[in-house]
Structure 1
């Protein structure tokens, strides 16, 4: 399989090389592998833990009460130090990075979800590597449950990645703990739609004591990502250059095949979500453009119905006929009312801002009618 967009999640135990402090040689190896991947033409996003470990190191490993504010304090201290290290090491290879802090709420609220996606897409378009972490100072879920694993899966779904690599302190997913049983068996490839029950049963907690997640969160992340059309590999982070071998489809770690391809996943979402949000009515010229695989532009819109927001899935109709298509709109209904019949070049002048020339991009459109017909029929 050829991968074009890859999300790499690295845990604290990988960054510390199993010790107490962030390991510069390990981070340099990781950065080198990511840069080689990017310079081969692959788009890369990094989801990185390690802020709390960096904060604890900065304070000299103090004895702190085991409660959430203390960990949030450590994250606040460690996050800029972690980013400074990444920025310095990536600069060696003449690559630019950007910090993106997200919370679960950012990816469950539709408008914030779209804003996050737009930001990440803009960074990728500018050839900048996004480095993503849970915003620990305001969200406690990641500290308690190791949600950077699940966050990485949500990011992979958000930007429609082809591959999610979860680097951990084991070679993959085993049927037993390989530290305690040398005969433990590594699960190689999982092709079934459901993750086998024995894998869930074998998943345990964090062993290193540095990170906050365990193998169970890796399985949760894999289950989520593969249902959005993303392949997943759980592998050891002790040799970061293995990232290159994984992308070249070598049998490293535990591989989970996608349950759906990305197009099917997007279409299912659009067709499911479009019911009842609103309608956009278009003229015959716009309908013909959609049939020919083009995007919907404001000049082809004749009417807007409903109270939908940017990012909602809506129904597209032509005249009094049945549905032409379903799609995800880039503009809210109140904005489209002002754009009806106007050229795309006028959007920013009319609204004071723009989310692009397209009302619905062709990649976010599912055709219902695929033949030319009379719009007034």
Structure 2
């Protein structure tokens, strides 16, 4: 598959039914070993890989002796607390056989809705990837309540793809793609090879939220596709229960591809440029030249701060002669920025009284 071959950063979503045997509640260890081999091959090809893995509640309910029925919130959270340890260990063990380091990242909906938390999550994931680790992301079910839940890992996976600037999101599912109707009840239903735009007709094909074996069904997968495509990330839905799903995808296994009309980097720049500025950072000539060369903005190049803004808020970047250079997301509040203006990054902790990030506005968070 050309899209997988060309992608440099992958997010792979894995549902509970793929990892955990429904009858026994045990891990499907052979399947886990097979996809770990697939992931190792993608890493060896120079790609970043992020996994969004369900399974903590499914594993934990067996450990606590809870029934195979819908659990009350407190029991589900308790099951997640027990199961998450086992899930993380299983991934760490499977990938360690291939010399890969794993990292556990637990998030809630608030972490993407709040811009400050969003930037922290983005920075952490970027650092993990830069060191070659494979992040294993899951919803923090032990603390998430209804008002701060994603509710399904399809949409969580799409948000992680957006956060990390992934090229391709792969949803391993219990179906091999999006059909024109429900293939279980409509013999005339046909699988779509490619979807270039999420139209009302496409959304209608997805049916209701509970139409699939997974928690969200096909509707949440189409919602995930809409999120991913808008951010320059292509998405694939394919059947994932058989061994080596990524290898099978490369070999031409049946799937539906949702295309993206721009790359993630360009999409992010457009998103930042369209935000309403909350303040202005006036920078010196040296910093202006550095930004033109693709560098980040350091506190040393800041000469004046205008307005009031918080961490993660969009700010205008302005040259000494008043020229507007662009816009970026500030990693410090206006008050903090005024304190560290003109100082070297090594002085930040001494000035503020606590450690901070070396960069005032990162190059990935600015549109010039």
Match for residue 14 of structure 2?
10
CA shift, 1:205, in A, is: 4.9
Per-residue deviation at 1:130?
0.9
Q: Choose which of 28, 37, 42 in structure 1 pairs with 2:33.
A: 28
- 5 Å-filtered alignment, 1:113-128, equals 113-128=118-133
Question: How far, CA to CA, are the matches of 2:64 and 2:246 in structure 1?
Answer: 32
User: TM-score normalized by structure 1?
Assistant: 0.87
**Does residue 74 of the first structure (1) align with residue 69 of the second (2)?**
no
For residue 295 of structure 1, report the CA deviation from its aligned partner.
2.8
For 2:307 and 2:183, how far apart are their aligned partners in 1? 57
- Cα RMSD (Å): 2.6
Q: Which residue of 1 aligns with 2:239?
A: 236
Counterpart of 1:272 (choices 267, 271, 274) is: 274
Pick the aligned partner of 2:223 from 220, 223, 226. Answer: 220
- SS of 1:138's equivalent in the other structure is coil
42, 47, 54: which one pairs with 2:59? 54
Q: Determine which of 87, 92, 95 is the counterpart of 1:87.
A: 92
Matched, 1:167 2:169: no
Unaligned runs of 5+ in 2: none
Taking the aligned partners of 2:55 and 2:83, their CA distance within structure 1 comes to 8
TM-score w.r.t. length of structure 2:
0.89
- Please tell me whether the aligned partners of residues 282 and 305 of structure 2 are also in contact (alpha carbons under 8 angstroms): yes
After superposition, residues 54-203 of structure 1 pair within 5 angstroms as: 54-60=59-65, 62=67, 66-141=71-146, 146-192=151-197, 194-203=198-207
Tell me the distance in 2 between the aligned counterparts of 1:179 and 1:33.
30
Distance 1:145 1:329 in 2: 26
The number of aligned residues is 362
CA 1:208–1:29 in structure 2 vs 1: closer, same or farther (change >3 Å)? farther
Change (3 A) 1:143 1:26: farther
C-alpha change, 1:4 and 1:249, in structure 2 (3 Å) is: farther
2: distance between equivalents of 1:251 and 1:117?
A: 32
Match of 1:282 in 2: 283
**How far, CA to CA, are the matches of 1:144 and 1:364 in structure 2?**
26
- Cα contact 1:153–1:225 (8 A) shared by 2: yes
Contact residue 203 and residue 219 of structure 2 kept, 8 A: no
